[in-house]
Structure 1
Amino acid sequence: MPEIWTHEVPMRWGDLDILNHVTNVVYLDYAAEAQAVRRRDGHQIDHRPVREVTVTYLRPTALSRRPLLVRSSLDGDELTQEICTTSHDEPAVHARVVTTYGAPAMPLIPSLDGHAVAASVRVSDLDATGAVSLIGQFRVAQEARVLHVGTQMERGVLGQVVVGTISLQPVAPLAWRPEPYEAHSWISRVGTGSFTINTLVGDPSAPVLVTRTTLVGFDSATQTARPFTDPERRIVLDHLR
């Protein structure tokens, strides 16, 4: 039987992005808070390293005075955490964080074209061991992905997109250093209203981490997904590898 527990997490103004929704990486903060409380209460979650973390965003979360509810379930080597609001009788799931434990695996890396961007690590990204935390790794990869899209793709053509899912594979410890790491991004899948962009931090021959992010076309007026226009899809296809 899986171990199941719940924990309430209060929200902060700083959790929001420019759309007044909870920022992508903040959901990991909520999940980590619930894990920390579990450990404080004397429960071991898993002693093995993290093999992969996947965050699936199901619906936007706006700021509320009500705390969010984190429902956690540990089943074998997989920890599933649902981030929920509780304004109704049945909690509504807004995001799902799945952490898989085990030995790191080397991801498949295509031949890259050399368009690297700088990925900087800050001291605030470090955890108690002195290595960059999982949350810090997500932030570093996200900054590199946004910089790649902003400099390598025609933002005047590509309309608004939001993150649907992010998966992170840690390969080696990410350490703090004054000089930035190099980061490469490439598009691995293109659909009618979404595409998947991968980001590698470190040397391509010896990556430190790799993320896989699905970006979805978004209509802010209706707060719903939308299909890409023909010019948008052509731009994205030009970067498919």
Structure 2
Amino acid sequence: MRHVYECPMRWADLDLLGHVNNVVYADYLQEARVDMLRVHARGPATGALAEALLVVSNQLTYVEPLLFDTRPVFIECWVTEVRAATATLAYEVYRERDGERTVYLRASTVLTPYVFAEERPRRFTPEERAGLEAYLEPVEVEPTPYGEPVHHELGHYPVRVRFSDVDIYGHVNNVKYFEYFQEGRVAVMTRLLEQAPGVERQSVVVAQQDIEYKRPMLFRSEPYDLWTWVSHVGRRSVILEGEIRDPGAPDRLLARGRFVLVFFDTTTGRSTEPSPQLRELYASLV
């Protein structure tokens, strides 16, 4: 069985192209998940899970641009796997008109029950498993093919956590990592183009985002280190990867991400090939 959530949209959700910003979708998924587990809880155990789950990973695949509308957008949410200490949820963001569905995003989230007072994961109780299995629709999720990290000064971005980024448990909310990685991508792409003033800029849209959360980030005055690099340059796309580490413990990985960007022609609304000069510029960071 799938749960359906009517997600209200906000004008502030839009980016410069008039599309819902790629980061905002992660917030939509969080809203749908909480609505399924708490607002429409199948029992006390399921309801309590909404406040007792830690996000292990997120995989988001963008299918169509979503434009602003006063009507809500719908999100289907269901469970694809329940293991001893993790559960995987799937989502589909869509609208329907005249019996036809337009899908804007497909995604999955791996979650683990967590004892926040002791900062440790735990196993699901039988009651929690039963509540989740009511939404079970098994499907296999392919793991993200992360590459080896590449650290260079051009790809370094200091992440400063704002107080509003932190949840009631003192951890940076999982949605905020999408913002951090976006800031890192913008920084490295801007620096690249500044080094080659003769190379024409081209718009990009995000086609895929995968993030793994290894250790919690906490609110503090000192910044964290975010590193971004190019792992592949395709004919119409470029893949960037990144990771966040604590400069006080550089061997400790906090999060890593993989991001597929597609070059985009704003006039035709279609993907396009980058110029040879721009492709060469990105290839210099591989």
2:264 maps to 1:212: no
Partner of 2:30: 32
Structure richer in helix, relative to its length:
2
Partner of 1:233: 279
Partner of 1:166: 209
Partner of 2:3: 5
Partner of 2:56: 51
How far apart are residue 48 of structure 1 and its match?
6.0
Partner of 1:112: 151
CA deviation profile, 1:51-90 (whole Å, cap 9, x unmatched) = 3201111111111111100011211132111111233422
Partner of 1:222: 268
TM-score by length of structure 1 reads: 0.89
State which structure, 1 or 2, has the greater radius of gyration over its C-alpha atoms.
Answer: 2
Aligned residues: percent identity?
Answer: 28
How far apart are residue 186 of structure 1 and its match?
0.7
Partner of 2:76: 71
SS in 2 for 1:22: coil
Identify unmatched segments of 5+ residues in structure 2: 82-86, 113-120, 122-143
Partner of 1:143: 183
Partner Cα separation in structure 2 for residue 188 and residue 31 of structure 1: 27
SS in 2 for 1:142: helix
Partner Cα separation in structure 2 for residue 228 and residue 114 of structure 1: 25
Partner Cα separation in structure 1 for residue 184 and residue 31 of structure 2: 25
SS in 2 for 1:211: strand
Amino acid at match of 2:183: E
Q: How many residues align?
A: 236
TM-score by length of structure 2 reads: 0.76
How far apart are residue 139 of structure 1 and its match?
1.1
CA deviation profile, 1:64-122 (whole Å, cap 9, x unmatched) = 1111000112111321111112334222110112112368x9x6643423442211211
Amino acid at match of 2:101: P
CA RMSD across the alignment:
2.2
Moved over 4 A (4+): 45-48, 153-156
